Chain A
Amino acid sequence: MFLAVSGLQKSYGTGIVTPVLRGTGLELARQRIGVILGPSGSGKSTLMNIIGGIDRADGGTVEVDGERISDLTDDQLLEYRRASVGFIFQFYNLVPNLTAGENIEVVSNISEKPLKIDDVLSAVGLADKKNRFPLELSGGEQQRVAIARAIVKSPRLLLCDEPTGALDLETSRGVLALLQRVNAEFGTTILMITHNAAIADMAHSVYRMRDGQVEEATHHDQPVPAERIQW
């Protein structure tokens, strides 16, 4: 299994301890798309942060492509993030005073074998907007730049935190279709957090979380193309 999470526990706070993850577990095969559904406070983001190596669990294990990242040191986690993980955020989080091309270059600069910036921009359909600043782009275009920024280092795992949360329906469809294409063309395993249950149809695996645990995991062999998703 490409991604294997088992018995993950995480609490916040020192005086009054709030458990966020209570023995969470999930598995996702290589080159598949997984979607985590759940209400606010169910522990989706915490789970994703731990899988992405920017937070640590109090207990349990996380294995990515055979590497137990829950045992890595801080420096090793950094190398793991740098080499293997791409992040996409709900509000794009682009650097406002860098152009689309430069935003991608920022990540390309720290990658060992980055893809060509022009190729990545073409892949996300923004070849002609390379020199535009984020404020000169629509929300959907900005998210495309964020996707391009995340995939320029050819990550093995792409983590998406509500990637369509700030977009309208049509634009969301376009972004999701792009993620499906990235999955198909680059073979990138994608794990996505969303509130939107309709998006689950485009995933190979769907995990429903509640109170820090995965309540239900379903798997589809033939996910629905993003263009046909209705909500």
Chain B
Amino acid sequence: MVSALNRRIWRMLREHMGRYVGIAILVLLGSFYFTAATGVAGSMERMVVGFADRNQQEDLTFTTDKPLDIADWERESSATIEASLRHDVRLPKGELRLLSPGAELNLAQVTSGQALANPGDVLVDPHFLQTQGLKVGDVLTLDGRTFTVVGTVAVPNYVYPLKGLYDVLPTAGFGIGVAAQADIEALPSATEAASTTYSVRFHDRDRIEAQTAALRNLLGDDGYRVTEWIEAEHNQRISMPWGNISSMQSMSFPVAIAFFVLGCVIVGVMITRTVKADSIIAGSLYALGYRRAELTRHYLAVPVLVTLAGSLAGTLWRCLASRRWSAPCSPRTTCRTPGCFSRRTILRSRCSRPSC
């Protein structure tokens, strides 16, 4: 490209600054949305998978009318089976579901503060901590017994903390807590109200559906009455983030395509108008010896620069924004929408800071 025409490009940009800035902003938004949505969905997917794998998320959970001989059933079903205690404690402004910490499955991830160390220690989910106006180190009275909140926690089978299995949204004031089994059993109301559930994770990670069906049949054949049975796939507490991820992935594509098409149309109109308005000059330059390729480069320079600037700015914005979003152990815990909560919980579960 020759220098005199290059100078013209910058002058054209200056002369129609508003028009080109508008187009660049449109491209910027499209680029930002595309990179952000696909990037966030992708990293969330990696995080959810990583969290589930690292913390041995269950494949299913069930309760029975009589206790299981866990060792026998583990051999029988080629799975890790773990019993856990669950007990709901009412509070003046909400309700806390206390879970016993998993030793092999559904390993609790401490996201701030310290792990359980002493009797009377409790870990709670970050949102519950905030809504109850608590902070790490505070004392919490549960069923007349005092507990010390030693930190916050994320639990793989309560990624989305629904109270009931068939709830759609989290119950206001409801939260998750993890406390030693002995502490839960020692609660006055726990003797009759606490329930034991079994969590299962199969060793063979490829045929989970078939193994699940086989286990259920075996339990029935052995005379167990299954009172509650929920597979991870149907457990909203586990699968809700997947729904968010897949909807984000499926929405990001058409919306980004729409932005892209809109951007193409506008840039196309811009090129058409420019070439039409400049056709006589382009013809003159051609007659004076300019090659078609040189003229094409000249007339494409402005749209290319505008779209390049918009897309680079959009991508850069997304990079800066994603840094902010994925900052681990950030104190911002105001959002309680399903997507936001699960993202925050999952993000925090990745924190590599020693204190987490």
Contacts and interface: CB of A to CB of B under 8 A. Distances in A.
12 contacts: A89-B284, A91-B280, A93-B280, A95-B8, A95-B281, A98-B8, A98-B11, A106-B4, A106-B288, A107-B289, A110-B290, A111-B289
Interface string B1-15: 011110110011001
Given A95-B8, A97-B15, A98-B8, A81 B289 contact: yes
Interface string A86-107: 1101010111111000110111
**Interface residues of B toward A: which range?**
20 to 34
Name B's interface SS. Answer: helix
Given A87-B284, A106-B285, A110-B2, A97 B11 contact: yes
4 closest A-B pairs by CB: A82-B289, A109-B2, A93-B284, A105-B4
Contacts of B287: 52, 54, 81, 85, 87
B273 interface: no
A78 interface: yes
A192 interface: no
A140 to B, nearest CB: 18
A153 interface: yes
**Interface residues of A toward B: which range?**
20 to 34
Contact of A109 (B3, B281, B283, B286): B3
B291 interface: yes
Nearest to A105: B4
Nearest to A83: B289
A26 interface: no
A206 B159 CA distance: 93
A102 B10 CA distance: 14
A151 to B, nearest CB: 11
A52 B284 CA distance: 12
B12 to A, nearest CB: 6
A95 B286 CA distance: 13
A7 to B, nearest CB: 24
A105 B291 CA distance: 16
Residue of B4, B5, B289 contacting most chain A CB atoms (<10 Å): B289
Interface in B261-287: 280-281, 283-287
Contacts of B11: 97-98
Given A95-B8, A95-B281, A97-B12, A78 B291 contact: yes
Given A93-B281, A97-B11, A97-B12, A106 B5 contact: yes
Nearest to A93: B284
Residue of B4, B11, B15, B280 contacting most chain A CB atoms (<10 Å): B4
Nearest to B9: A97
A149 interface: yes
A93 B294 CA distance: 18
Residue of A96, A105, A106, A153 contacting most chain B CB atoms (<10 Å): A106
Interface in B1-59: 2-5, 7-8, 11-12, 15
A149 B3 contact: no
A37 interface: no
Contacts of A81: 287-289
A94 B288 CA distance: 12
A149 B288 contact: yes
Interface in A57-80: 78
